[in-house]
Amino acid sequence: MKVRYSYLPQQFAEIDDLLAEIKRFVATGDFTLGKPVVEFERRFAELIGTKHAIGVNSGTDAIKLPLKALGVGHGDEVITTANTFIATVGAIAELGARPVFVDCDDSFCMDVGQVEAAITPRTKAIVPVHFTGYMTDMRALMPIAEKHGLPVVEDACQGILANIEGRNSGTWGRAGAFSLHPLKNLNVWGDAGVVVTDDDAMAHSLRLLRNHGMRNRDEIEVLGCNSRLDSLQAVVGNWLIGTAREISDKRIENAEYYDRHLGEIPQIRIPPRLPDMRLVYHLYIVFAEDRDGLLKYALDRGIEAKVHYPIPLYRQDALKHLGYEAGSFPVTDRHTTEIITFPTDQHISREEQDYVIETVRSYYAGR
Ligand SMILES: *Cc1c(COP(=O)(O)O)cnc(C)c1O
């Protein structure tokens, strides 16, 4: 049996209505910040529960532009987490600022207890990452940020519709960043991102920054860039956004099935499932004894298991200049040897999941 990682062919198998929609859209020629973008922004803000949503061209820019709007630039430090996708750090570095890492805990998010020790006079902002679909402990982080007068921009690219006590990811800080990349929970056919905020001034700045800082066709208010949400992708987004809640419900249901059965295997440890938190399983990760052996065994049997990620950012060549020494982030380091990601999404079947569970069981039974 093969258990595929990518479910995109299934997700976009029946799209006649969408193609008809695209045909209608193309006839309008409304390609630049067109009506579909306006509609998508309205629906996205409604989905997350914020006053504003601003479409941009990627999740990376959805992190970068709010930081730019907050004045983050050369010489500044921005605190984020040691285990994230490179895009978080790339967004900070692109502004000329220095990413400062804080280790994670077993929820794969920033260990908020270590944030204060990382604050210096140069710290300009904090970017918690709601990694894998967990949420950073925002109840603990926000008072720390407020005490030090530091704005928070949430990287919610993997955490759409995750919440703590019902309050959604992306709505805790000054702004929240989402990605609509094909591999994210709410996805389109290319690169796209969204920033949400309740702050009118922030929303105003973002609308300028994403479109060359143009107030209108003839007047340039600030220096910005080209980071518009593509209208064609907005058509795809509008087609899909009505099912966003269903997608996350289904992912949660499938993850709970894995938890129940993989959790019975003594060599597998399920990460903490926190009672007040709705986690949306962008990635389904467990801790496994003899991870490398299990990974190879699963791959050999057609299961596209993965490791997110085998090499932490602070040990990557591109970030050597930050000067972190090996062992600086022990939990992040430990995870690289213990974690395994199994395919889990809204389209995986029970048969596929049972096959994964049986394969894991047979690996440990046969060792
Ligand atoms: C995907 C992702 C991003 C960036 O999103 P893009 O749309 O690919 O630019 C940022 N942060 C995290 C944690 C991500 O997973």
> Looking at residue 169, what is its pLDDT?
98
Does 241 contact ligand 1 (Cβ within 6 A)?
no
Q: Stretch 200-205: mean pLDDT, rounded?
A: 98
Q: If DSSP codes are grouped into helix, strand and coil, which group holds residue 320?
A: helix
Output the CA torsion 89→95→98→102 (10° steps). -40
pLDDT band at 342 (very low <50, low <70, confident <90, very high): very high
For the CA of 282, the closest atom of ligand 1 is: 15
pLDDT at 143: 98
**Residues of CATH 3.40.640.10 domain(s) within the chain?**
8-243
Mean pLDDT of 257-277: 97
Q: Give every CB contact of residue 96 below 8 A, 6+ residues apart in sequence.
A: 73, 74, 75, 76
The CATH label, of 3.40.190.10, 3.90.1150.10, 3.60.70.12, 3.40.50.150, for the domain at 244-365 is 3.90.1150.10
Long-range Cβ pairs for the range 324-329 (8 Å, 24+): 324/101, 328/82, 328/101, 329/82, 329/83, 329/101, 329/103, 329/104
Helices 35-48 + 231-240 axis angle, to 10: 40
179 close to ligand 1 (CB < 6 Angstrom) = yes
Report DSSP state, residue 129: B
Locate the ligand 1 atom nearest the alpha carbon of residue 63 and give its number: 10
Amino acid at site 45: A
Separation between Cα atoms, residue 57 and residue 228, nearest integer Å: 5
For ligand 1, is residue 185 a contact (CB within 6 Å)? no
**Per residue in 79-120, pLDDT tens?**
999 999 999 999 999 999 999 999 999 999 999 999 999 999
Rounded Cα distance, 141 and 128, in Å? 9
User: Which atom from ligand 1 is nearest to the alpha carbon of 158?
Assistant: 15
User: pLDDT at position 278, please?
Assistant: 98
Residue 367 has pLDDT above 90, yes or no: no
Dump pLDDT digits (tens) for 278-308.
999 999 999 999 999 999 999 999 999 999 9
- Compute the distance between CA of residue 197 and CA of residue 234 in angstroms, rounded to an integer: 19
* Rounded (5°) CA angle 348-352-356: 120
Residue nearest to atom 5 of ligand 1 (CA): 59
Q: Can you give the pLDDT at residue 339?
A: 98
Q: 276: which DSSP letter? A: T
Q: How far is the CA of 176 from the centre of ligand 1 (A)?
A: 12
- The angle at the Cα of 335, spanning 274 to 106, to the nearest 5 degrees, equals 15
Establish whether residue 155 lines the binding site of ligand 1, counting it when its CB lies within 6 angstroms of any ligand atom.
Answer: yes
- The C-alpha torsion from 178 through 180 and 181 to 187, rounded to 10°, is 140
pLDDT score, position 158:
98
**Cα–Cα distance for residue pair 91/111, rounded to 1 Å:** 21
- In the chain, CATH 3.90.1150.10 sits at 244-365
State how far the Cα of 152 lies from the Cα of 299, in Å rounded to an integer: 39
* Closest approach atom of ligand 1 to CA 61: 9
For helices 291-300 and 350-366, give the axis angle rounded to 10 degrees. Answer: 130
Q: Is the pTM of this model over 0.95?
A: yes
Beta strands in 134-238 (DSSP E): 153-155, 163-164, 167-168, 175-179, 193-197
181 Cβ below 6 A of ligand 1: yes
Contact 164, 139 (CB under 8 A): yes
State pLDDT tens for residues 32-43: 999 999 999 999
Please report the pLDDT score of residue 34 as a whole number: 95
Instruction: Tell me, using a 6 A CB cutoff, whether residue 123 lines ligand 1.
Output: no
Residue 68 has pLDDT above 90, yes or no: yes
CATH class of the domain whose range is 8-243: alpha beta
Average pLDDT of the chain to the nearest whole number:
97
